[in-house]
Structure 1
Amino acid sequence: MAKAAPFGQVERALAWRYLRARRQHGGVSLISIISFFGIMLAVTALIVIMSVMAGFRSTLLNALLGGQGHVFVSVGGLPEADVDVLTNEIIELEGVEHAFPIIEQQVLATSEYGRTGAIVRGVRTEDIGNLPYLEGGQSTADAAGFGEGRNGGDVVLIGAFLAQDLGLRIGDKITLIAPEGVAGPFGVTPRSKAYTIGDTFTTGSVELDKLYVLMPMQQSQLFFNKRNEYQAIDARLYNPMRTEPIMAEIRSLTGGLRVEDWKLRRAAYFNALNVERGMMRVIMLILITITALNIITGVVMLVKNKTRDIAILRTIGTPRGAIMRIFIMIGAILGLTGALIGLVLGVLIVLNIGVVEGFLSSILGRDIFDAEVYGLDGLPAELDWAEAVFTTLWAMSMSILVAIWPAWSAARLDPVDALRFE
Structure 2
Amino acid sequence: MAKSAPFGEVERALAWRYLRAKRQNGGVSLISIISFFGIMLAVTALIVIMSVMAGFRSTLLNALLGGQGHVFVTVDGYPEDNVLDLTQQVLEVPGIKSASPIIEQQVLATSEYARTGAVVRGVRSEDLDNLPYLKAGRSTADAAGFGEGRNGGDIVLIGAFLASDLGIRPGDQIKLIAPEGVSGPFGVTPRSKSYTVGDVFTTGSVELDKLYVLMPMQQAQLFFNKRGEYQLLDVRLDDPMKADQAKRDITAKIGQNFYLQDWKQQRAGYLNALNVERGMMRMIMLILITITALNIVTGVVMLVKNKTGDIAILRTIGATRGAIMRTFIMIGAILGLTGALIGLILGITIVLNIGAVEALLNFLIPGQGEIFDAETYGLQGLPAELDWGEALFTTLWAMSMSVLVTIWPAWSAARLDPVEALRFE
Residue 209 of structure 2 is matched in structure 1 by: 209
> Deviations along 1:379-403, whole A, 9 cap, x unmatched?
1111111111111011000000000
Query: What displacement does 1:164 show?
Result: 2.4
Residue 406 of structure 2 is matched in structure 1 by: 403
Letter in 2 for 1:250: I
Following the alignment from structure 1 to structure 2, what is the Cα–Cα distance between the partners of residues 335 and 242?
40
> Deviations along 1:217-255, whole A, 9 cap, x unmatched?
121112112222211111222322332211221222231
Residue 128 of structure 1 is matched in structure 2 by: 128
Contact 2:28 / 2:303 at 8 angstroms: preserved in 1? yes
Following the alignment from structure 1 to structure 2, what is the Cα–Cα distance between the partners of residues 174 and 351?
45
Following the alignment from structure 1 to structure 2, what is the Cα–Cα distance between the partners of residues 86 and 70?
17
Following the alignment from structure 1 to structure 2, what is the Cα–Cα distance between the partners of residues 125 and 340?
55
Residue 417 of structure 1 is matched in structure 2 by: 420
Residue 266 of structure 2 is matched in structure 1 by: 265
Following the alignment from structure 1 to structure 2, what is the Cα–Cα distance between the partners of residues 420 and 93?
83
C-alpha RMSD of matched pairs (Å): 1.6
Query: What displacement does 1:279 show?
Result: 1.0
Residue 81 of structure 2 is matched in structure 1 by: 81
Letter in 2 for 1:35: S
Following the alignment from structure 2 to structure 1, what is the Cα–Cα distance between the partners of residues 75 and 195?
27
Matches within 5 A, 1:345-360: 345-360=346-361
> Deviations along 1:9-31, whole A, 9 cap, x unmatched?
22112111111122222111111
Query: What displacement does 1:299 show?
Result: 0.7
> Deviations along 1:350-384, whole A, 9 cap, x unmatched?
11111112122222224322333333321111111
Following the alignment from structure 2 to structure 1, what is the Cα–Cα distance between the partners of residues 398 and 407?
15
Residue 384 of structure 1 is matched in structure 2 by: 387
Letter in 2 for 1:169: R
Following the alignment from structure 1 to structure 2, what is the Cα–Cα distance between the partners of residues 225 and 334?
73
Give the alignment's TM-score, normalised by structure 1: 0.96
Matches within 5 A, 1:165-204: 165-204=165-204
In structure 2, relative to structure 1, the CA distance for the partners of 1:192 and 1:370 (3 Å cut) is closer
Residue 369 of structure 1 is matched in structure 2 by: 372
Residue 239 of structure 2 is matched in structure 1 by: 239
Following the alignment from structure 2 to structure 1, what is the Cα–Cα distance between the partners of residues 191 and 251?
35
Contact 1:300 / 1:406 at 8 angstroms: preserved in 2? yes
Residue 295 of structure 1 is matched in structure 2 by: 296
Following the alignment from structure 2 to structure 1, what is the Cα–Cα distance between the partners of residues 76 and 376?
42
Residue 14 of structure 1 is matched in structure 2 by: 14
Matches within 5 A, 1:34-73: 34-73=34-73
Segments ≥4 residues shifted beyond 3 Å: none
Letter in 2 for 1:394: W
Give SS of 1:213's match.
strand
Residue 155 of structure 1 is matched in structure 2 by: 155
Moved more, 285-294 or 22-31: 22-31
Following the alignment from structure 2 to structure 1, what is the Cα–Cα distance between the partners of residues 373 and 224?
43
Matches within 5 A, 1:258-337: 258-337=259-338
Contact 2:18 / 2:27 at 8 angstroms: preserved in 1? yes
Contact 2:39 / 2:339 at 8 angstroms: preserved in 1? yes
Following the alignment from structure 2 to structure 1, what is the Cα–Cα distance between the partners of residues 313 and 88?
82
Query: What displacement does 1:63 show?
Result: 2.2
Following the alignment from structure 2 to structure 1, what is the Cα–Cα distance between the partners of residues 155 and 221?
15
Following the alignment from structure 1 to structure 2, what is the Cα–Cα distance between the partners of residues 164 and 363?
33
Following the alignment from structure 1 to structure 2, what is the Cα–Cα distance between the partners of residues 173 and 375?
26
> Deviations along 1:3-55, whole A, 9 cap, x unmatched?
32211222112111111122222111111111111100110011111111111
In structure 2, relative to structure 1, the CA distance for the partners of 1:25 and 1:59 (3 Å cut) is same
Query: What displacement does 1:2 show?
Result: 5.4
Give SS of 2:180's match.
strand
Moved more, 69-78 or 411-420: 69-78
Letter in 1 for 2:392: V
Query: What displacement does 1:100 show?
Result: 1.1
Moved more, 290-299 or 103-112: 103-112
Query: What displacement does 1:174 show?
Result: 1.9
> Deviations along 1:274-316, whole A, 9 cap, x unmatched?
1111111111111100000000001111111111111112112
Following the alignment from structure 1 to structure 2, what is the Cα–Cα distance between the partners of residues 307 and 86?
82
The gaps in structure 2 that reach 5 residues or longer are: none
Following the alignment from structure 1 to structure 2, what is the Cα–Cα distance between the partners of residues 159 and 36?
52
In structure 2, relative to structure 1, the CA distance for the partners of 1:368 and 1:171 (3 Å cut) is closer
Following the alignment from structure 1 to structure 2, what is the Cα–Cα distance between the partners of residues 59 and 223?
35
Query: What displacement does 1:404 show?
Result: 0.5
Query: What displacement does 1:124 show?
Result: 1.0
Question: In the comparison of the two structures, how many residue pairs are matched?
Answer: 422
The gaps in structure 1 that reach 5 residues or longer are: none
Give SS of 2:242's match.
coil
Give SS of 1:27's match.
coil
Letter in 1 for 2:29: S
Give SS of 2:241's match.
coil
Contact 1:2 / 1:319 at 8 angstroms: preserved in 2? no
Following the alignment from structure 2 to structure 1, what is the Cα–Cα distance between the partners of residues 238 and 174?
35
Give the alignment's TM-score, normalised by structure 2: 0.95
